[in-house]
Chain A
Amino acid sequence: MNRSFVARNPSVLIFLALLALFTLGVTVLSEGFGVGMISTSFVKTLGKTLCLCLVAVAMDLIWGFAGILSLGHFAFFGLGGYMIGMWLMYERTRLIVVDALAQGSMPPTPQEVVDGIGNQIFGVVGSSEFPLVWAFADSLVLQLALVVAVPGLLALVFGWLAFRSRVTGVYLSILTQAMTLALALYLFQNDSGLRGNNGLSGLQNLPNVTASQDVVSMWFFWGSALALGSGYLLAAWVVSGKFGSVIRGIRDNEARVRFLGYSVEAYKLALFTLTACIAGIAGALYYPQAGIINPAEIAPIASIYLAVWVAIGGRGRLYGAVIGAAVVSLLSTWFTGGQAPDIPLGFYTVKWVDWWLVLLGLSFVGVTLFAPQGIGGLVDLISDRLRPDRHGADLGPDQGSLREKEAHK
């Protein structure tokens, strides 16, 4: 038991090495810093994919390790994006307004500057007043803190309410889905003060930065890779110690863990909040690369896709989540981007733009029925690990517990 963390988790080292190699490769091939074989738009796609991988790791922590199928983690992801977006919009607009006012005959009063910014940001939704939620938008440090604090706080309050009253299993899934739906509907309203359906846009243009998008996109790519690496390390550390054993116990048999004297609710709440914070950070890195955030991003469907990525990648193993998120989202981009060749069947031509979703939907069914370990299961074939023989029984009686054929240790 005294072996080092890395020795107990060799996959972490392999993962980090591959990630570093990949980052280096993209850098060398990029337009901003290398030979220019990868276009900037593709660098952005890759950077965004890394952020999705990070939120998938968070999802795997809460679902694969604690057995809580949250269908609301994109709400936290989106909130992270909104928090950083507010500062980006405010600061960029402030620079424009200050420049414009500087041309006037007298120096502007602070109120004139604020009014000018409000007018520019909210003019499009027919208002000019700053809502209360923008109180800290002028401070990068505070907004960065909010990137973690707001999703964390929401998760804490929601989780406390839900776990306290012992809402579990499917009920909890539907409740989390309701939460993200309520948040999306709330943000859709203009009265929410975050520009309603239009959301926050132009986020790719960093204030005070004159570098071209070729360079900026690489900064974000590095940032995303760093965040994914650290997030992965953190997640691996969390699940490797005693804490990890307890949450796996909760997944497989919650009642038994409770009888052993552990405060099940506290463990669940801590993990739920932690994953929400990770999702918030991933979102804060994702949306400046996407350029725009609006409430449609946190509609319930997004969170369901997140669960699907983890399921396809293989839940209960962190690299599985990363593989799932990367493969499915990149394949989606490829198929819907019109690059996939059509398949002529003679009587009918299969256009992937139309049929990709059908294929994706059926592949969920296929994976759940035939390959519950997901793509990550392939690793077991290579490493040739033997499963313990449990004669077909599940690891635990709870709804989130792993089945024998899913378990890999």
Chain B
Amino acid sequence: MTFLKSTLTGTLAGTLVAASLGTAAMADEHTIKVGVLHSLSGTMAISETTLKDTMLMLVEQQNAKGGLLGKQLEAVVVDPASDWPLFAEKARELLTVHEVDVMFGNWTSVSRKSVLPVIEELNGLLFYPVQYEGEESSKNVFYTGAAPNQQAIPATDYFLEELGVEKFALLGTDYVYPRTTNNILESYLEGKGIASEDIFVNYTPFGHSDWSKIVADVVALGADGKKVGVISTINGDANIGFYKELAAAGISADDIPVVAFSVGEEELSGLDTSNLVGHLAAWNYFMSADSPENAEFIETWHAFIGDEARVTNDPMEAHYIGFNMWVAAVEAAGTTDVDAVRSAMYGLEYPNLTGGTAVMGVNHHLSKPVLIGEIQADGQFDIISETDPVPGDAWTDFLPESAVLESDWKDLGCGMYNTETKTCVQILSNY
């Protein structure tokens, strides 16, 4: 055992020595390192591998344009294997062993929470590309995905105003994103005059497949003559069983519309969508968006991945915006130093793939338009509604505890500022 351990130690120590001396150090001066922290194995691999490829494509594109600050970019890819504690370990490795200048990564909230203490301790920089539940604003993270007010709230407004839904079924997988989002929505709906009896909430485990009773419960909600709508935060595979049961029960989108926050082009590829036409999804990006930037992005993506059938999705756009904004910030700051880049990020603008521009706010969230799409028979979405850009809100206004909180890293220098007591609750996140 000791033999084996010392061999391993030796190997690793060797690489470290090599990294701190000699050629590796020389290479350091000529490249800017971009860490990619996405799971390449385990349950999250399917979603995250696509994002790793997106990052490699963006780095390659930037290098073709001549790099950054006269240096070439180098992507350092590690595999946290869908194992949450491993995310923290790999982040530390990226920052201390590989000494990357910036990281792009994570998908699940719990993996982000796992990484937070490490990057705050070592003052790293992370771009997080996925829609999430909010209630967080770290000095060292830029959130390029949607906060609840950029996805859930507009979709609920759409239900209330456009579809006239009066009774809501909030169905979700039992984890943090659906729990927090549904809490916010419950509070929001009650503020809009929907009685709490008219909100039905249900949580199911990951990968749930027995949906008959839940679908029957939803149908039964219609018994008091109010229009029923389903807001689904069901995650991943479980959607397949859910939509199959929905189709089998013959529920049309005109009777009981379903809007999903976690179903995109990738997820629909595991389904026959002909029975689901008309159900909805809310995102900041759909592959079907009609803009020259999007057409070019899809073309580059297909060329890079070598497969015309691959779809693009919302988190890919988030990485596209995040990466290009970081490049612009580094150019503006003239250095990759984290604090300088951070200051240069505020107020930066970059064109969205769906038209218009995204703006980075002082709370580290983007301002983006919200799109609502109807599922079509070919597995794509027909965009039927697009809002003006909505600035992301780190602390939701619809829960009493967080309504008083505000994040402003530029002027207040605080991610959790209590506007009532006028004090900064905390500078470091509390994970």
A binds B: yes
Q: A127 — which chain B residues lie within 8 A by C-beta?
A: 183
Contact with B along A188-218 (1 / 0, CB 8 A): 1110000111110110110000001100000
Q: State which of B2, B79, B424, B431 has its C-beta within 8 Å of the C-beta of A21.
A: B2
Q: A212 — which chain B residues lie within 8 A by C-beta?
A: 121
Look across to chain A and name the residue whose beta carbon is closest to the beta carbon of B2. Answer: A18
For window 325-366 of A, CB contacts with B under 8 Å fall at: 326-327, 330, 334, 336-338, 353-354
Q: B113 — which chain A residues lie within 8 A by C-beta?
A: 124, 198, 201-202, 292
**Cβ-defined contact, A29 with B13, below 8 A:** yes
For window 74-104 of A, CB contacts with B under 8 Å fall at: 92-93, 96-97, 100, 103-104
**Cβ-defined contact, B176 with A202, below 8 A:** no
Instruction: Take A41-B89, A202-B116 as given contacts and tell me if A125 and B179 are in contact as well, using a CB distance cutoff of 8 Å.
Output: yes
Interface-side segment among B91-99, B247-255, B283-291, B341-349:
B91-99
A37 located at the interface, meaning its Cβ lies under 8 Å from any Cβ of chain B in the complex: yes
B8 located at the interface, meaning its Cβ lies under 8 Å from any Cβ of chain A in the complex: yes
Instruction: Take A123-B135, A353-B79 as given contacts and tell me if A198 and B109 are in contact as well, using a CB distance cutoff of 8 Å.
Output: yes
Q: Measured between alpha carbons, how far is A62 from B310 in the docked complex, in Å?
A: 51
B12 located at the interface, meaning its Cβ lies under 8 Å from any Cβ of chain A in the complex: yes
**Cβ-defined contact, B174 with A190, below 8 A:** yes
B402 located at the interface, meaning its Cβ lies under 8 Å from any Cβ of chain A in the complex: yes
**Which of B4, B116, B424, B430 has the largest count of A CB atoms less than 10 A from its CB?**
B430
**Cβ-defined contact, A337 with B79, below 8 A:** yes
Q: State which of A26, A290, A326 has its C-beta within 8 Å of the C-beta of B4.
A: A326
**Cβ-defined contact, B180 with A128, below 8 A:** no
Q: B81 — which chain A residues lie within 8 A by C-beta?
A: 336, 353
Look across to chain B and name the residue whose beta carbon is closest to the beta carbon of A197. Answer: B175
**Cβ-defined contact, B431 with A202, below 8 A:** yes
For window 165-202 of A, CB contacts with B under 8 Å fall at: 185, 188-190, 195-199, 201-202
**Cβ-defined contact, A353 with B175, below 8 A:** no
Q: Measured between alpha carbons, how far is A197 from B235 in the docked complex, in Å?
A: 13
Q: Measured between alpha carbons, how far is A363 from B116 in the docked complex, in Å?
A: 37
Q: State which of B92, B135, B180, B203 has its C-beta within 8 Å of the C-beta of A41.
A: B92
Residues of B contacting A: mostly: helix
Q: Measured between alpha carbons, how far is A336 from B184 in the docked complex, in Å?
A: 38
A45 located at the interface, meaning its Cβ lies under 8 Å from any Cβ of chain B in the complex: yes
A315 located at the interface, meaning its Cβ lies under 8 Å from any Cβ of chain B in the complex: no
A399 located at the interface, meaning its Cβ lies under 8 Å from any Cβ of chain B in the complex: no
Look across to chain A and name the residue whose beta carbon is closest to the beta carbon of B430. Answer: A120
Give chain B nearest CB distance to A208 CB in angstroms: 15
Which residues does A use to contact B, with CB under 8 Å? 18, 21-22, 25-26, 29, 37-42, 44-46, 92-93, 96-97, 100, 103-104, 119-121, 123-128, 185, 188-190, 195-199, 201-202, 204-205, 212-213, 287, 290-294, 296-297, 319, 322-323, 326-327, 330, 334, 336-338, 353-354
> Could you list 26 examples of A-B contacts with CB < 8 Å?
A38-B13, A42-B12, A103-B424, A119-B401, A120-B430, A123-B135, A123-B402, A126-B180, A126-B399, A188-B174, A189-B174, A189-B203, A190-B179, A195-B176, A196-B175, A199-B84, A201-B117, A204-B88, A204-B118, A291-B88, A292-B113, A297-B85, A326-B4, A326-B5, A336-B41, A336-B81
Which residues does B use to contact A, with CB under 8 Å? 1-2, 4-6, 8-9, 12-13, 16-17, 40-41, 77-79, 81, 84-85, 88-90, 92-93, 96-97, 109-110, 113-114, 116-118, 121, 133, 135-136, 174-176, 179-180, 182-184, 203, 205, 399, 401-402, 418, 421, 423-426, 430-431
